[in-house]
Every structure is written in C-alpha cells, then in structure tokens.
Amino acid sequence: MSSHESVLREPLILGDKTYSDITAEVCKPIEGKANKYWYLVFTIAVATFAWGFGCLAYTLGTGIGQWGANKTVGWAWDITNFVWWIGIGHAGTLISAVLLLFRQKWRMAINRSAEAMTIFAVMCAAIFVTMHTGRPWLDYWLFPHANQFGSLWVNFNSPLMWDVFAVSTYFTISLVFWYTGLIPDFGGIRDRFKMKGKPMQAKIYKILSFGWSGRAKDWQRFEEVSLVLAGLSTPLVFSVHSIVSMDFATSVVPGWHTTIFPPYFVAGAIFSGFAMVLTLLLIMRKVFNLEHYIGIKHIEYMNIIIILTGSMVGVAYLSELFISWYSGVEYEGYAFLNRATGPYWWSYWGMMTCNVISPQLFWFKKIRTSLIATFILSIVVNIGMWFERFVIIVTSLHRDYLPSSWTMYHPTWVEIGIFIGTIGMFFTFFLLFARVFPVIAFSEMKTIVKSSGSQHKRKFAESKGIKVDY
C-alpha cells in the first residue's frame, strides 16, 4: 500500500510537525502546570459535583418521594437523563471501533477524548438508573446471583434486564478499549519523565504502561487486540441504544409502542454523542493549543456525520407523525397531537427546532467550517436531544387512557440538583483526564505523519509538479 495520499486532500497534521514535536506538544499539559483557567473551571465543576452529591445523599436519606414523579408520570426526569447520558456515550465507541475498522485516519486526533467521554457519560447515566430503583442497596438483585441469597431471580424477559447487561457490557468493553489505546502513550510518557529526572512520575507511568517497550512484537499485539476489541465494540454501538429503546417500544403506551424506536434511538445517540465530542474538542484544542492536530477538517468531518444522523432523526420524527395518523388508532393520534399542542408544547417544538432544523445549517460549508457556529450548534443539538427524551417519556405518560389520571409533572430542586451534579461530575473527570492522560493518541498520530503531515504532502506534491497552499 502506498504511503502517500492524494495531494487534493488537506493534511491531517498541520504546522510541519516532526515526531518529536508531536510528543512534546501533546505531553505538555501532563508535564507542566495547569493554568488558572483550568483551576477555575475545575473548581466550578467540583462545586457542582458536590452540590449534586448532596442532593443524591438527601434522596437516599428521605426517599425518591422528594422527586416530582407521581403515579401517572412514574418515569420522568431521572429516566430522561439516563437515556440522554447513554446517548452521549455512543460517539466514543463509534469513533474508536467503526472508524478504526474503516481505516479512517482522521479518528486518531479525536478518538482518545471521545472514548474518555463515553466512560464518564455511562458513569453519569448509571447514577440515575441506580437511584430510580428506590432501594439502591438492593441493586445487586438485578444480576443473577447464587441460590444461597434466596430463590428470587430476575425476569430475563424484561427489557429492563436487557438494559443492565447491555450497558454493563458496553462500559466494560469501552473501558478496556480506551485503556488499551493508552498503553503505548503511557510508555512514551514514562520515558520522558525518566529523561527529565522525575523517578516518581516515571514509576507511576511504568506501572500504567504494563511494560510497554515499543518493540515490533508489542505493536503487532497492540494492533491485533485493537482489531478484536473494535470487532466486539461495533455491535455494541447498535445494540445498546436499541435495547434502551425497547424499554419503551415493548410497552403498550401510545407514543412508545412502535417498531421504529431502535434505529431512531441509535441515530439519535450518535447524533448527540458527536455534538458533545465537538463541544469538548473545540474547547480542548484552544486551551491546550492543539490546533495543528485537531484541524478544521476534523470538525467538518464530524459536522457531516451530524448532518447525516440529524436527517435520520428528522425522518424518524416525521414517520412517527405519519404512522400515528395512518394507523387510525385514536389514542396514538392523540398522543402526538398532545405533544405538539398540549401543555408541554414548548418541549416538542424545542426538540424539532434543535434536532431537525439546526443541523441542516451544516449543509453550508461556511457554517460547518466555522468554529463558533459549530460550538453553538453542538450545544443546541444536545439541548434538543434532552428535549427529545423528555418529550418521549413525560408527554406520553402524563395523559394516559384515563382522563381522571391526567396530571402534570414538574421537577423538584432535588432532581435538578442531581442532574446538574452529574454534569459537574462529567467535567471533573474529564478535566482530570486531560491533566494526567494524553488527550491525543500521539503514538498513533506519528504513524500518519509521512502520509498526512503537511510537510510530507507538500514535498510529494512538489515532486509531481503540483502547487498546494498548505
């Protein structure tokens, strides 16, 4: 296989970087001291996390009666946030596994942060589903256990049980995949600390690197394990959110009982996940001066995926509306009419605006290559995806078959505090990750220097008599 790409493609590594430059610039946040902005954001994140933890402790002490959920709207803010966080965690595995199998080089600059985001998002999601049981100290009942504990076993026919196994498997595989990718970089950081005369840090990264030596045999095994994990992870990208959607689709609640949910939820998860990756990367590339590694081309590629998945979500919304009319089932028709014109109309139209209309702006090249526009729209998309989960859950439940049971749902300060706390937890972990782990897979980035580095592409173009402007 040729080591050269078409010169018409823009390079993925800008600034004429050498191997040494890549290592030094990616390791700089780990070896140096954090600036005041990192401490400011970290303080805010930890304070928010602490507030959420306090609300969580209050709920444990007094019961989930402190939440706004009621007999009619039994699933509300907590399950909305659970599905939202699980969706955000989907992009990491897609970037790591699917794009690896398709040999997409542009993934190398973004996969590390996306994988970390996946792990932290699933941890946040687990808080909500754990608390929703009401007695979290008995959550081990969700798993098959020895008969000595009693004869009570779980109902394997329940999609809620499928959820437990799907999400726990997803988290485990994602964690192993993420850590496996870090091992070569840990070996490089270990050697740098050793040369700088910092034995304590060198010892820590030596343990983390599992004796990585950089030999050809190490790299061969690394490639083999990465491919195996990518093969295991790829079905999980599609299965996890399909199973989450079956929590709703297997019921008889109007607005939930539909076969379109699995592909619709998967597309929505990838949609929201890529939006969150963009939000984090745009901040990170500026704070850590990584503009030469996370370029406009990376942002544009991710925006194209957002156009695709956003369009799929839009088609799913329209399909739901059409089927609710075409089915002739008055309860189904009313469920969708109530979403659009009922007391929660603002959430429905917010969802449609953020998820259907806003991504279409990326058809314009000027917008999809604009960092400011991308940052704003990535936040808008995740607001819209939160509204989508709220619309699906609350508006389908608050008016059921019995008008005498109709009621409204309003979140309490405890629920809002827990949700804000999980956002603080997410950013606390992500900021710590950015300080002690390399945010870009620099060992892998070096493998594409000669094919996608700006200086090598320019030299190759000049040898062919082609003038390029990068």
Is 317 domain-assigned?
Answer: yes
The stretch 387-398 carries a mean pLDDT of: 91
The stretch 443-448 carries a mean pLDDT of: 86
CA distance linking residue 446 with residue 18, whole number of Å: 8
**In contact, 427 and 279? CB cutoff 8 Å:** no
Is 63 domain-assigned?
Answer: yes
Give per-residue pLDDT as tens, 346-373.
Answer: 999 999 999 999 999 999 999 999 999 9
**In contact, 247 and 104? CB cutoff 8 Å:** no
Confidence tier at 122 by pLDDT (50, 70, 90): very high
Confidence tier at 47 by pLDDT (50, 70, 90): very high
The pLDDT, as a whole number, for residue 2 is 46
The stretch 199-220 carries a mean pLDDT of: 88
The pLDDT, as a whole number, for residue 141 is 80
Is 72 domain-assigned?
Answer: yes
Please state which of the ranges 3-12, 20-29, 223-232, 406-415 shows the lowest mean pLDDT: 3-12
The domain in which residue 369 lies consists of: 35-136+236-447
The pLDDT, as a whole number, for residue 381 is 94
The pLDDT, as a whole number, for residue 138 is 82
Give per-residue pLDDT as tens, 156-183.
Answer: 888 888 888 888 899 999 999 999 989 9
Is 154 domain-assigned?
Answer: no
Predicted TM-score (pTM) of this structure: 0.91
Give per-residue pLDDT as tens, 101-120.
Answer: 888 888 888 888 888 999 99
CA distance linking residue 454 with residue 5, whole number of Å: 11
Residues sharing a CB contact under 8 Å with residue 276, sequence separation 6 or more, in sequence order = 88, 91, 117, 121, 378, 382
Confidence tier at 375 by pLDDT (50, 70, 90): very high
Is 456 domain-assigned?
Answer: no
Is 465 domain-assigned?
Answer: no
Number of independent structural domains in the chain: 1
Distance of CA 46 to the CA centre of its chain: 21
CA distance linking residue 258 with residue 249, whole number of Å: 5
- Please indicate whether residue 323 or residue 400 has the higher confidence score (pLDDT): 323
Asked whether residue 205 carries a pLDDT value surpassing 80, the answer given is yes
The stretch 69-85 carries a mean pLDDT of: 88
Is 469 domain-assigned?
Answer: no
Is 228 domain-assigned?
Answer: no
